[in-house]
């Protein structure tokens, strides 16, 4: 039994038309019309309407709540109507066994399993994170629905958490994932010469590869950074989703299209050709409530980076 990949990232939004504009016009993705015909989308979980936007081996699944009384509706209200990352879905090639394993290790389910092939975990039992487990469906979008090539995969899903010990217990001991120990960094704490309130995010960072992507967990090592404030405000049970990081072969091309279509860039990137590795950040206000990092980095040591202040 095994979790095979991150199947999708669930985003909640008040407006599917705007979501399509951001993800298609801004990011260069496409709606998977096989699964979720636009513009109205398909009926989704928790009385929602959803559209799916494939990205590499996974997808963004964007849901519009049809009722404020539903759990997704309440999440939307809690964000002031902005929305954002609501959950991630992990695919399993032995669904019943993997769900039972989690239950045996103390994880609670939101609903009785019955004959379902997907289930949401009770967030309070997984550090407050929205996590769905689903049976691997081996569905990969037709190339026609993969967009214009600006984004070709998901480098990682970023989580902010208060404790590396709690994170390791969840992802290593409970889920059984293998940590990439070569990627750990920042555990020594911030540079002592760092000025209080400096515009960087000193973090102790852990990485857990899942399929072709990575779960990246940042633990703030100061109390004055953007990540520290996010954890203090929203990681009530220990963790909160921080950002997604798609892979772009040409970050400049992605940035040009995104900015032209109203996506707000944070900071700047070096001129094309000046550096081999390019990382761009975009404001959640213009990305469906989701902080966005876009990079062209190959795996390995060059992953090291600092989050911008929010």
Q: Can you tell me whether residue 217 is helix, strand or coil?
A: strand
Same domain, 62 and 133: yes
Which residue range is the domain that position 60 belongs to?
3-145
Using alpha carbons only, how large is the chain's radius of gyration in Å? 19
Q: How many domains does the chain have?
A: 2
Stretch 128-143: mean pLDDT: 96
pLDDT digits (tens, 9 = 90+) for 2-42: 899 999 999 999 999 999 999 999 999 999 999 999 888 99
Give the model's confidence band at 299: pLDDT under 50 very low, under 70 low, under 90 confident, else very high. low
84 vs 69: CA distance, rounded Å: 18
Give the model's confidence band at 196: pLDDT under 50 very low, under 70 low, under 90 confident, else very high. low
Same domain, 212 and 263: yes
Inter-residue contact 180 to 300 (CB < 8 Å): no
Same domain, 32 and 105: yes
Q: Which of 37-41, 158-162, 300-304 has the highest mean pLDDT?
A: 158-162
Q: Note the pLDDT of residue 40.
A: 87
123 lies in a domain?
yes
Inter-residue contact 136 to 97 (CB < 8 Å): no
241 vs 81: CA distance, rounded Å: 17
32 lies in a domain?
yes
Tokens of 136: 């691997």
Helical H segments across the chain, by residue range: 16-20, 71-78, 95-104, 164-168, 226-234, 251-260
Q: Note the pLDDT of residue 131.
A: 98
Distances (CA, A) of 287 to 4, 93, 283, 284: 27, 32, 7, 5
Q: Note the pLDDT of residue 306.
A: 45
Same domain, 99 and 199: no
Inter-residue contact 134 to 117 (CB < 8 Å): yes
Give the model's confidence band at 194: pLDDT under 50 very low, under 70 low, under 90 confident, else very high. low
Same domain, 158 and 296: yes
pLDDT digits (tens, 9 = 90+) for 238-259: 999 999 999 999 999 999 999 9
241 vs 244: CA distance, rounded Å: 9
pLDDT digits (tens, 9 = 90+) for 64-119: 999 999 999 999 999 999 999 999 999 999 999 999 999 999 999 998 887 789 99
Strand partners, 216: 158, 207
Is the predicted pLDDT of residue 224 greater than 90, yes or no? no
Same domain, 32 and 62: yes
**pTM of the complete model:** 0.92
Same domain, 205 and 161: yes
pLDDT digits (tens, 9 = 90+) for 270-298: 999 898 899 999 999 999 999 999 999 76
Q: State the average pLDDT for the chain.
A: 92
Name 117's Cβ contacts closer than 8 Å, sequence gap at least 6.
95, 134, 135
Q: Note the pLDDT of residue 15.
A: 96
């Amino acid at each position: 039994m095994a979790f095979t990949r991150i199947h999708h990232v669930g985003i909640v939004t008040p407006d599917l038309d705007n979501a399509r504009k951001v993800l298609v016009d801004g990011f260069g993705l496409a709606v998977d019309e096989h699964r979720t015909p636009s513009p109205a989308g398909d009926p989704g979980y928790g009385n929602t309407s959803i559209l799916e936007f494939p990205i590499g081996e996974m997808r963004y699944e964007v849901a519009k709540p049809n009722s404020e009384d539903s759990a997704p509706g309440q999440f939307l209200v809690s964000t002031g109507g902005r929305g954002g990352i609501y959950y991630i879905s992990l695919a399993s090639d032995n669904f019943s066994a993997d769900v039972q394993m989690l239950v045996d290790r103390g994880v609670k389910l939101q609903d009785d399993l019955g004959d379902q092939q997907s289930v949401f975990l009770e967030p309070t039992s997984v550090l407050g994170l929205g996590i769905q487990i689903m049976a691997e469906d081996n569905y990969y979008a037709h190339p026609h629905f993969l967009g214009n090539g600006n984004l070709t995969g998901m480098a990682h899903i970023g989580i902010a958490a208060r404790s590396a010990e709690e994170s390791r217990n969840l992802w290593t001991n409970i889920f059984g994932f293998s940590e990439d120990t070569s990627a750990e960094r920042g555990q020594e704490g911030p540079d002592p010469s760092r000025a209080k309130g400096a515009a960087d995010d000193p973090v102790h960072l852990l990485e857990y590869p899942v399929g072709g992507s990575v779960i990246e967990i940042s633990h703030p090592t100061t109390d004055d950074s953007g990540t520290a404030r996010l954890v203090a405000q929203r990681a009530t049970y220990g963790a909160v989703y921080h950002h997604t990081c798609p892979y772009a072969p040409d970050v400049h091309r992605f940035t040009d299209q995104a900015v032209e279509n109203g996506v707000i860039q944070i900071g700047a990137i070096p001129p094309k050709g000046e550096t081999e590795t390019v990382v761009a950040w975009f404001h959640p206000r213009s990305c469906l409530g989701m902080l966005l990092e876009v990079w062209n980095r190959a795996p390995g040591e060059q992953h090291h980076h600092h989050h911008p202040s929010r």
